[in-house]
Amino acid sequence: MSSPNDPVASLVTIRDWLRYCLTRFRKAGEEQGLSHGHGGGAALDEAAFLILEALSLPVDDINPWLDARLTHSERERIAGLIEARISTRKPLPYLLGATWLQGRRFRVDERVIVPRSFIAGLLFSGAFGSAEGETGTLVDDPLAVTRVLDLCTGSGCLAILAADAFPNATIDAVDLSAAALEVARANVGDHGLEERITLFEGDLFAPLRRCRYDLIITNPPYVTRQAVMNFPPEYAAEPVMAHLGGDDGLDIVHRILEDAAAHLTEGGGLICEVGSGREALEAARPDLPLLWLDAEGHEGANGEAQGAGEVFWVTRATLA
Ligand SMILES: C[S@@+](CC[C@H](N)C(=O)[O-])C[C@H]1O[C@@H](n2cnc3c(N)ncnc32)[C@H](O)[C@@H]1O
């Protein structure tokens, strides 16, 4: 017989479960520092995402569903996810096997970092121009972009989104992790992009020989050793090679800047995410006119605001 305190027996509607999940998350936040950086940034966003994705409902708005009643097995699934999220401290997308970025669903598991790059939003923000031919954008005409490189592709999320943003482009995507590339391959297949995206295993530009690209996109590992050592469990659950960028976080960024010009077409450019590395990078490379872009707001591992000045753009002309 179920106890009167058993949530599976007593909670009926999505509204009930949203309230319950939020209470559990807030309590776990106070008692154990549960971190919500992988599930929308705040406890309420993550609770809504957990419920909607578990029920295969559209994840953008929970309001139309609040009074919907759940079956017993649906309640069991949601209760199990709430328990697992709090007891394992794994990022919710690992427990769900998926996350969403810019309206696209991506498979994820422990082989890849959970997709959340600021570059994803920038690809669709108008910064890269539009078919209407706006002036003053990073790329004159997105339809004229035919070759894109996604370095450090992980789950393949940015390569897949770039295929949307640049509909006439073929895309090469590189990662050093064979395990990450298995996930990327599944995502490329899910989105039907096998003809446009080619995956390469290797160290940065090494597998690409002399290929040149109109655009290089990269969200490389850029976290300092000290910050990695202090990660909350949610971030520590991700592959360390996806985060660790050496003592100052910039080891891989410097290597990319060193070699990018040789892989860009004449009018090409590089967009690169560096987290909080802006000051250190500007100090190390005062010769480079880096243009810092403002991405939409996100929250970091400790709930801090992120997104402004974490991504730079630099052209081949100034790199060469
Ligand atoms: C921050 S994650 C980014 C993943 C994905 N682009 C995203 O935005 O979600 C960095 C990725 O770089 C890969 N990586 C680390 N060192 C690398 C290297 N030397 N060459 C290529 N990829 C590397 C990691 O395996 C990881 O998948």
**In the chain, where does DSSP find H-type helix?**
7-10, 14-32, 43-54, 72-88, 92-96, 118-123, 157-165, 178-190, 225-229, 233-236, 240-243, 251-259, 278-284, 316-319
Q: How would residue 133 be classed by pLDDT, with cut points 50, 70 and 90?
A: low
Distance from residue 21's CA to the centre of ligand 1 (Å): 33
Nearest CA to ligand 1 atom 10: 242
Least confident of 208-217, 233-242, 263-272, 299-308: 299-308
Nearest CA to ligand 1 atom 19: 203
In this predicted structure, the answer to whether residue 232 has a pLDDT above a threshold of 80 is yes
Dump pLDDT digits (tens) for 41-94: 899 999 999 999 999 999 999 999 999 999 999 999 999 999 999 999 999 999
Residue from 101, 102, 111, 113 to probe ligand 1 pocket by mutation (most atoms less than 8 Å from CB)? 113
Determine the atom of ligand 1 nearest the C-alpha atom of 218.
Answer: 6
The predicted model gives 193-218 an average pLDDT of: 97
Distance from residue 63's CA to the centre of ligand 1 (Å): 36
| pLDDT computed for residue 297 by the predictor | 53
Q: How would residue 140 be classed by pLDDT, with cut points 50, 70 and 90?
A: confident
In this predicted structure, the answer to whether residue 318 has a pLDDT above a threshold of 70 is yes
Distance from residue 108's CA to the centre of ligand 1 (Å): 14
At residue 8, what is the residue type?
A: V
In this predicted structure, the answer to whether residue 103 has a pLDDT above a threshold of 80 is yes
In this predicted structure, the answer to whether residue 178 has a pLDDT above a threshold of 90 is yes
Collapsed DSSP state (helix, strand, coil) of residue 45: helix
Q: What is the mean pLDDT of the chain?
A: 93
Of residues 320 and 93, more confidence is placed in 93
- Buried-state track 137-155, b at ≥16 Cβ within 10 A, e below 16: ebbeebeebebbbbbbbbb
Which pTM does this prediction carry?
A: 0.94
Distance from residue 32's CA to the centre of ligand 1 (Å): 29
Whether the CA torsion 54, 59, 62, 64 is positive or negative: it is negative
Distance from residue 33's CA to the centre of ligand 1 (Å): 27
Interatomic CA distance for residues 28 and 41, integer angstroms: 15
- The side-by-side arrangement of strands in the sheet containing 213-218 is 197-201, 170-175, 147-151, 213-218, 264-273, 305-315, 291-299
